[in-house]
């Protein structure tokens, strides 16, 4: 007589017991709740964000004519600067006059700079900050920012 083949355990189905399914669902819900808690809160009607409470600011950009001049040192180094001012059009309806005055002011300022002051990212950031301050001063605070579009030093 031949030995019967060993019996294989019964294959389990995709399901599982009710307690196993419940545990998996609870773990998934806990992970989802953790991700939801980590996500930044959005503004609701009951809790508006400070940005939503402020009225929208309007801005306009005015391109200044290119400025070409030599630097203060070395004298044979030339600079060409093209820039724009960002302003509120309600407070400055005609930016042409302010742009002309600002162009003259920037020309005089660039003639005092040295090549060493313009080197590297820090030099460029200092130039942008100085020009933004000059624009704000010249326009009585109406110009919010000076944007350097192109800068060539030769």
CB 110 within 8 A of CB 69: yes
Between residues 127 and 42, the one the model is more confident about: 127
Average pLDDT over every residue of 11-34 = 67
φ, ψ (nearest 5 deg) of residue 79: -130, 140
- Taking the C-alpha atoms of residue 152 and residue 154, their distance in angstroms, rounded to an integer, is 6
- Residue 10: partners with Cβ closer than 8 Å, 6 or more residues away: none
pLDDT at 52 over 60: no
Q: CA dihedral defined by 142, 143, 145, 148, rounded to 10 degrees?
A: 180
Which residues are CB-neighbours of 118 under 8 A, at least 6 positions away? 71, 79, 124, 127, 153
pTM, to two decimals? 0.62
Domains defined along the chain, listed by start:
60-153 (3.30.479.30)
Least confident of 8-12, 53-57, 60-64, 130-134: 8-12
Report the 10 Å Cβ neighbour count for 39.
7
Please check the confidence at residue 58 and state whether its pLDDT lies above 60: yes
């Amino acid at each position: 007589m031949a030995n019967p083949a060993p019996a294989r355990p019964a294959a389990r189905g995709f399901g599982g017991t009710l307690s196993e399914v419940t545990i998996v669902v609870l773990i998934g819900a806990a992970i989802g709740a953790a991700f939801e808690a980590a996500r930044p809160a959005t503004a609701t009607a009951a809790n508006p964000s400070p940005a939503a409470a402020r009225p929208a600011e309007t801005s306009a950009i005015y391109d200044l004519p290119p400025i070409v001049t030599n630097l203060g040192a070395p004298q044979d180094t030339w600079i060409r600067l093209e820039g724009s001012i960002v302003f509120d059009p309600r407070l400055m309806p005609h930016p042409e006059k302010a742009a002309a005055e600002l162009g003259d002011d920037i020309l005089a300022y660039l003639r005092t700079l040295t090549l060493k002051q313009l080197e590297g990212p820090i030099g460029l950031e200092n130039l942008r900050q100085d020009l933004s301050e000059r624009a704000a001063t010249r326009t009585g605070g109406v110009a919010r920012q000076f944007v350097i579009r192109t800068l060539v030093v030769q």
